[in-house]
Structure 1
Amino acid sequence: MHSEAETFAFIDECKYALDQLFQILDIRLKAIHNLSRSLAEIEQIEYLLTDNFVEQDQWSVNANSYYIQYMDRMKALAEEKQGIATEPERQKRVLEMLARIGATEESMAVLASAVLQIGKQVLSFRFGGKPNLKNVREVASQLVVEIIWEGRNHTMHWEEANPRRPVVDMLQKLQTSGVKIIQGRNNALAIIAVLNWKSASEAIEDLKSLVIAENT
């Protein structure tokens, strides 16, 4: 066990590693996020284009030119919408692109596992073992400490296919709360997502809040 000050210093030492891990994870997150516009986004663009043409451009001296541009853009949006709705190859192409840059789900899960390992190390450094903290946030019907601690245990031992009861309970609660957990896989990405750790600063802020929490 270590003091709050010692643990804050330990977290500061871990900051560089967390920064590097999240920088690489962010490549995949951005690639997936920017894969394509959602249908809702395309429909919003269609609405704005139509509204602009009806309210303004049709009265312009260049109305014919604007109308042609408007129709061309609407046609392109319709084709894009059709592609999102019906093209199964779209996701396949993105996954292939991610594989080319080494950002497969499996490789990213290894990095997410390292994030959870650091999280557990911080808790161990501060409290010695798994703490029973009061007044900490809940995620998916359980305390965040449970997700960090047992999430790390899951990611370190998932290949053994013999999870301990606390790990099983934690994963089941995540599933009950709507989190997609795949049996026989490393679910580290889903776990850091449910923790809402999208960057090193968010993970560090969360861990520092746990450092100062009361252990019963």
Structure 2
Amino acid sequence: MSTIPGTSQENPWAALGLASQAPTRDTSLGQADFLRLMTEQLKHQDPLKPMENTEFLGQLAQFSTVQGIQDMQGAMGSMASVMESDQTLRAAALVGHDALVQADAVELQAGADGGLSGEVEAVSGGPVRIDIVDASGAIVHTTTLEADGAGPVGWEWDGLDGDGEPVDAGRYGIVATSGTGEDATALEVRLQARVDSVSIGAAGLVLNLAGLGSHSLSSVRRLG
């Protein structure tokens, strides 16, 4: 007759081949725990050497400080949540408007409707050249402007190549320079695009711009 091995009362999991698992315990010290410890400390203190008032008040002050910090952290967290929600609602009102951001490439649609506008930051007065470059590096269009001095210079492109034909859909780079030859200086390019939607990222509010991708709200130079 076969027998069934007995199970240990101390470890009922052994029969199943499982190690015993000690229950998890909460080791955090809350307000009730602190007050209970303070009460026990007073009940069991040495009558010949009672706790001095200053020491007792110091412990109470310590607890009050910790409790105050915890309360403040909770309040700050709630306030941050409210501010984030408020910013999201405000940013939602930007959908459909145009935003100017620093960018040197764009995804264009085919045809004249695929044009774009923006500005370059001139470092001094004089001619400014703006080249539209396709994915292969070939220049498809060149615009030359005259800057009156250092500062932003606005420009537009209708989406046509040098022969007046609509460019193909795709990704195009924008290269702006002032001067010629060895004296040529690269300039900062800013493009304007429509805000399609707003999202919340790790760095905060993000504007999703048509053809330009996602840009943080802090990177926007102008709205209009």
Q: TM-score, normalised by structure 1?
A: 0.25
* Greater helix share, structure number: 1
* Greater strand share, structure number: 2
Which entry has the higher C-alpha Rg, 1 or 2?
2
Higher-RCO chain (CA-CA 8 Å, sequence separation at least 6): 1
Q: TM-score, normalised by structure 2?
A: 0.24
